[in-house]
Amino acid sequence: AQTVTQSQPEMSVQEAETVTLSCTYDTSENNYYLFWYKQPPSRQMILVIRQEAYKQQNATENRFSVNFQKAAKSFSLKISDSQLGDTAMYFCAFMKLTQGGSEKLVFGKGTKLTVNP
Amino acid sequence: DTAVSQTPKYLVTQMGNDKSIKCEQNLGHDTMYWYKQDSKKFLKIMFSYNNKELIINETVPNRFSPKSPDKAHLNLHINSLELGDSAVYFCASSQYGPYEQYFGPGTRLTVT
């Protein structure tokens, strides 16, 4: 079974600075997908970024980028120029590629990020 | 327009009651899911349906029964509610395959 570990339960950063959230995972699969989801106080789950394991290039979305190290099974999220609206729980998630159709997300326990003014 | 909607958003009920949570998506997706988020914010898959067919059924008490009348709807019925069922329940949907899952706003269930 796949497991996802987020070793930082809480982090804080000053507005406009850069912060990196860690995520490691355990799997014997070769084809899979990794995600970072954000959950602000509103409770809504919002996709931040997605990475395909077969792609060596790290995914980026504006101020959000990942450092994907497949051999090390590491998938960290870097947030540049942090904004107050980035305050949220951040969940790392793993999805394996199957032929079955439905693809479940396996989540880490989350990192609570606070951006301070 | 809301992509994935859930009703109700809040549900307070007593132990032993039976309750349902409804979910609808207007994204044209084939696959829908139920996730449970516990008091420590941990999210875990419960069920998934693909075109009205049950695909994933994790280790969930059989008091929980999902029903999909059509591919745009996935409801969750819970019998004989227990204190430990208190949680936030999220519905999600996606296209067939390893694509982004779009989540509903969640239903906070409180069992007293």
pLDDT tens, residue by residue, A4-33: 999 999 999 999 999 999 999 999 888 899
Using a pLDDT cut of 70, give the percent of chain A over it.
96
Q: Phi and psi for A85 in degrees, rounded to 5?
A: -70, -5
User: From the list B41, B96, B105, which residue is nearest A89 (CB)?
Assistant: B41
When mean pLDDT is compared across A96-105, B53-62, B102-111, the lowest value belongs to: A96-105
CA-to-CA distance for A38 and B92, rounded, in angstroms? 15
pLDDT tens, residue by residue, B68-83: 999 899 999 999 999 9
Which SS3 state, helix, strand or coil, does residue B71 take?
Answer: coil
Q: Is the pLDDT of residue A1 over 70?
A: yes
Segment B88-103 shows an average pLDDT of 90
Which residues in chain B (33-62) have CB-CB distances under 8 A to chain A?
33, 35, 40-45, 48-50, 55-56, 58
Contacts of A57 (CB under 8 A, 6+ apart): none
Q: Is the pLDDT of residue A102 over 70?
A: no
Q: What is residue A11's predicted lDDT score, i.e. its pLDDT?
A: 97
Give the number of A-B residue pairs with CB atoms closer than 8 Å. 61
Q: Where are the beta strands (DSSP E) in chain B?
A: 4-7, 10-13, 19-25, 31-37, 43-50, 53-57, 64-70, 73-78, 87-94, 102-103, 107-111
Which SS3 state, helix, strand or coil, does residue B83 take?
Answer: helix
Confidence of residue A56 (pLDDT cuts 50, 70, 90): confident
Q: Residue B55 and residue A100: Cβ atoms within 8 Å?
A: yes
Segment A40-54 shows an average pLDDT of 94
Q: What is residue A67's predicted lDDT score, i.e. its pLDDT?
A: 97
pLDDT tens, residue by residue, A70-90: 999 999 999 999 999 999 999
User: From the list B42, B50, B100, which residue is nearest A101 (CB)?
Assistant: B50
pLDDT tens, residue by residue, B11-68: 999 999 999 999 999 999 989 999 999 999 999 999 988 888 888 888 789 999 999 9
Q: Phi and psi for A22 in degrees, rounded to 5?
A: -95, 150
Q: What is residue B67's predicted lDDT score, i.e. its pLDDT?
A: 93
Q: Is the pLDDT of residue A101 over 60?
A: no
CA distances from B54 to A89, A98, A101 (A): 30, 16, 11
CB atoms within 10 A of CB B81: 21
